[in-house]
Amino acid sequence: MTELFERNDERAPNERPVQAVAPDHLAVVGAVGRGRARLYCSTPWNTPVHEASQAVILIHGRLRNADSYYQLAQHAAAAAQAHDALLIVPQFLAAADVAAHRLETGTLHWEWTDWMGGGNALGPAPLSSFEVLDAILAQLADRSRFPHLTRTVVAGHSGGAQVVQRYAAVARGEAALAERAVQIRYVVANPSSYVYFDALRPTPDGGFAPYDARLCPAFNHWKYGFEGAPPYIGLDATSPRTLAEQTRELEAAYVRRDVVMLLGADDCDPAHPALDLSCAAQAQGPHRLARGRAYAAYMRMRHGAALSHRVHEIAGVEHDGQGIFSSDAGIAALFGA
């Protein structure tokens, strides 16, 4: 099944219609309108009572190949013997997908990759991809339908990991699950970049220093930093509190969250065709492994023993979603303690 996933898939063009569209729907309602998100779900949403004790939401990469990721989730659940797990794979479709498959006009769709940073849909309403995750979590928080749920995992590889890492930094959809004492974990696997909480960036000697904006004026713009962040995040330019003060609150919440980083130990190709080569991404390191190691060090430097986030490097794995999530560390991150 390796050919289905990122090691090979990411080398194919992503700006063409997907081959398969997820069969299930989820209504997403926001302040600016509503739309229907497509997703794979191992049990229909209209099931009156679901016996699942855990739910795993797995987000596809830039190819939007949710069908392949649903298979990946099924194989990982089988390996973990997590037979009661609810598996959910949302699909962030492009306009070309809607046209090619003649989907209903209410289907949410994005520019090719804007969804990876929480960007707003092109239609039918400008809803953030983060609001789709909020809507999924809201469904799971319904005690009458999921009375046995104790744990939810939001995971992604590559482009999907970009969604998860940013969502973990700014999530607004956790409250109802937290009130039910449902544990929430975020699993971030091999993204091309991370959102930093200030203007520090890694230096060649392994340290951190304020980045010279003359080298890349956009280095701290969203999705690499919080300048110009989308409305979903709620940063208020008119507030008497500075951007730095508001961002510190987001960072404090991020530190408290259960975050697991999974890095392919061989995901170190600085010329990988799907690697973000923008100057803002290059400011974080030359390749994915370096960027992941640097970000983990950045968070440890800032929070020390207060940081409980875990990092696992998966030996022998390149940029390969199947390799990551079929490894012992990957299965444990999705289904274990």
- The yes-or-no verdict on residue 162 having pLDDT over 70 is yes
- Per residue in 73-91, pLDDT (tens digit) is 999 999 999 999 999 999 9
pLDDT of the residue at 142: 94
Q: Which of 151, 33, 9, 35 is nearest to 90 (CA)?
A: 35
Q: Choose between 201 and 2: higher pLDDT.
A: 201
- The yes-or-no verdict on residue 2 having pLDDT over 70 is no
Selected from 3.30.70.260, 3.40.50.1780, 3.20.20.70, 3.40.50.1820, the CATH number assigned to the domain covering 2-327 reads 3.40.50.1820
| pLDDT interval class at 10 (50, 70, 90) | very low
pLDDT of the residue at 44: 84
Contacts (Cβ under 8 Å, ≥6 apart) of 3: 9
pLDDT of the residue at 147: 94
DSSP letter at 327 equals S
Q: Choose between 261 and 8: higher pLDDT.
A: 261
- The yes-or-no verdict on residue 13 having pLDDT over 80 is no
- The yes-or-no verdict on residue 282 having pLDDT over 60 is yes
- Per residue in 287-325, pLDDT (tens digit) is 999 999 999 999 999 999 999 999 999 999 999 999 999
Q: For residue 333, which amino acid is it?
A: A
Domain range annotation of the chain = 2-327
* Cis peptide bond N-terminal to 44, omega within 30: no
**CA distance linking residue 194 with residue 211, whole number of Å:** 15
pLDDT of the residue at 14: 86
**CA distance linking residue 100 with residue 115, whole number of Å:** 19
pLDDT of the residue at 267: 98
| pLDDT interval class at 151 (50, 70, 90) | very high
H helix runs in the chain, sequence order: 6-9, 66-80, 95-100, 129-140, 159-170, 175-179, 243-256, 279-282, 288-303, 321-325, 328-335
**CA distance linking residue 29 with residue 173, whole number of Å:** 13
Buried b (16+ CB within 10 A) or exposed e, 277-303: eeebbbbbbbbbbbbbbbbbebbeeee
| pLDDT interval class at 6 (50, 70, 90) | very low
**Lowest mean pLDDT: which of 55-59, 148-152, 235-239, 288-292?**
235-239
Q: What would the mean pLDDT of 91-99 be, rounded to a whole number?
A: 97
- The yes-or-no verdict on residue 20 having pLDDT over 90 is yes
Q: DSSP states of 13-28 as a string?
A: --SS--S---SEEEEE
Q: Percent of the chain scored above 70 by pLDDT?
A: 96
| pLDDT interval class at 8 (50, 70, 90) | very low
Q: What is the mean pLDDT of the chain?
A: 94
Cβ 201 vs Cβ 219: under 8 Å: yes
* Cis peptide bond N-terminal to 223, omega within 30: yes
Q: Tokens for 265?
A: 């130990």
Report the C-alpha dihedral over residues 152, 174, 234, 164, rounded to 10 degrees: -10
**CA distance linking residue 201 with residue 174, whole number of Å:** 29
- Per residue in 100-131, pLDDT (tens digit) is 999 999 999 999 999 999 999 999 999 999 99
Helix (H) or strand (E) run with residue 258 in it:
strand 258-264
